[in-house]
Amino acid sequence: MTPNLDRREFLQVSAAAGLGVALPGAAEPGGSRAPQILRSGPRPVVVASANGHRFTNGGTLTCVALAFDRITRGADVLDALVEGVSIVELDPADHSVGFGGLPNADGIVQLDASCMHGPRRRAGGVACLEGVRTPSQVAQSVLAHTDHHLLVGKDAQTFARQMGFTIEADLNTEHSRRLWLDWKRRVDPQHWLDPEKRIAAGREAGLQMVREGLIDPDHYYGTITCNGLNARGELCGVTTTSGLAWKIPGRVGDSPILGAGLYVDHAVGAAGSTGRGEANLYCLSAFFAVECLRRGMSPKDAGLEALRRVQAATLEKRLLNARGLPNFGLSLYILNASGEVAGVSLYASRYAVCDENGPRLEPTEALFPGRALD
Ligand code: GLY
């Protein structure tokens, strides 16, 4: 885990930003201490994809609720966010992240993650990582223990082992293995087709499983991304995923790529993404959205502007629906340095947020009406 800011860094950050400080609060009747926030600083907030307020892994708190609690009690923001997304990574009920995430075309769960620590200007990521349930924590170890930003494949796993993570032979659950077998059965007959048709058939088989309700549309490209801000104005983010269901082994999506699945500029804001990684990689939407914030846009306008870029870059017929619009989902979750948040998406969706009013799901601002496959 990333240690808290040392005193010198803390003073630099606070002085530079002119921000308030979260103080331990007065003891409550039960003996616990409620966090107390000086109002001169930004309001602490955590924003995430909707699965950030859906899964508890058998506990009582969702990702955003736990991260907000930790942040307002003075924890390092990135530590709090990684602890939050780890709930979802460890919960096999989310089929898009960590343990039980849908595997690649060979039936192997390969995970991607990245994280950024705004105050420290440090980043870490892993891609194609096998055997570790919590890739976000390995990404954080890359940030904390190396001079590098991204480790991939077998060597990422070796690094994780060296850092003391448990390596498991297989991260499939009964459920993910059954779905993979179903997908395999559907695409096997297509092996006699030419490669282009086979790719189209594989994609169509996956989308048909979504239409039939076998796969939650949010879990086909599913991911969790979570950004947070404390009352000292410290801004961090994390994104973690099992990536596209049934992907070609070795495929890396947007999640571990700085500027695509995640971007944090400490002075400006943060953005994270879920949805079709290829569309996002092409446009580096998280970086673009943060640049829009820098130019003075609100989180909502910055996110919608980034999604318009994605639409403009989506030309291929196979990626368009009957209306000529993108036939995939892509969402951005944006937080500016003042604590304003927005969730935006190509089509109606929801996002998770937790602030002084508690954890909840909110509707995203959708660029287009209807659904991706309409
Ligand atoms: N956004 C997750 C992925 O495409 O891998």
| Cα 79 to averaged position of ligand 1 atoms, centre (Å) | 23
| Cα 220 to averaged position of ligand 1 atoms, centre (Å) | 9
Where, residue-wise, is CATH 3.60.20.30 in the chain?
45-173+214-366
Token representation of residue 90? 């460890």
Q: Using 50, 70 and 90 to split pLDDT, how confident is the model at 11?
A: very low
DSSP 8-state secondary structure symbol assigned to residue 364: P
Task: Report helix, strand or coil for 272.
Answer: strand
Q: Using 50, 70 and 90 to split pLDDT, how confident is the model at 370?
A: very high
Look up the CATH number of domain 45-173+214-366.
3.60.20.30
Task: Give 301-358 pLDDT, tens digit per residue.
Answer: 999 999 999 999 999 998 999 999 999 999 999 999 999 999 999 999 999 999 999 9
Task: Give 79-130 pLDDT, tens digit per residue.
Answer: 999 999 999 999 999 999 999 999 999 999 999 999 999 999 999 999 999 9
Average pLDDT over residues 246-267: 94
Q: What are the E-state strand segments in the chain?
A: 22-27, 33-37, 45-49, 111-117, 122-129, 151-152, 224-229, 235-241, 262-265, 269-275, 330-336, 341-345, 350-355, 358-363, 365-366
Pocket of ligand 1 (CB under 6 A): 221, 223, 241, 243-244, 253-255, 274-277
Task: Give 115-173 pLDDT, tens digit per residue.
Answer: 999 999 999 999 999 999 999 999 999 999 999 999 999 999 999 999 999 999 999 99
- Round to whole Å and give the CA distance between 254 and 168: 24
Task: Give 268-294 pLDDT, tens digit per residue.
Answer: 999 999 999 999 999 999 999 999 999
Kindly report the protein residue whose alpha carbon is nearest to atom 4 of ligand 1. 277
CB atoms within 10 A of CB 324: 9
> What percent of the chain is predicted at pLDDT more than 70?
85
The pLDDT, as a whole number, for residue 144 is 97
pTM above 0.85, yes or no: no
25 is in an annotated binding site: no
Q: Is the pLDDT at 37 greater than 50, yes or no?
A: no
The pLDDT, as a whole number, for residue 189 is 55
The 3-state DSSP composition of the chain as helix, strand, coil percent (nearest 5) reads 35, 25, 40
Average pLDDT over residues 205-227: 81
CB atoms within 10 A of CB 137: 24
> What percent of the chain is predicted at pLDDT more than 90?
73
Q: Using 50, 70 and 90 to split pLDDT, how confident is the model at 34?
A: very low
| Cα 90 to averaged position of ligand 1 atoms, centre (Å) | 18
Mean of pLDDT over the chain: 87
Q: Is the pLDDT at 191 greater than 70, yes or no?
A: no
Exactly one of 223, 240, 241, 364 is catalytic; which is it? Answer: 223
- Round to whole Å and give the CA distance between 247 and 196: 15
Q: Which of 102, 244, 345 to mutate to test the pocket of ligand 1 (most atoms within 8 A of CB)?
A: 244
- The more confidently predicted of residues 246 and 46 is 46
The pLDDT, as a whole number, for residue 218 is 66
Q: Tell me if residue 2 is catalytic.
A: no
Average pLDDT over residues 254-281: 97
Q: Using 50, 70 and 90 to split pLDDT, how confident is the model at 216?
A: confident
- Round to whole Å and give the CA distance between 217 and 264: 27
Q: Are 307 and 367 in contact (CB under 8 A)?
A: yes
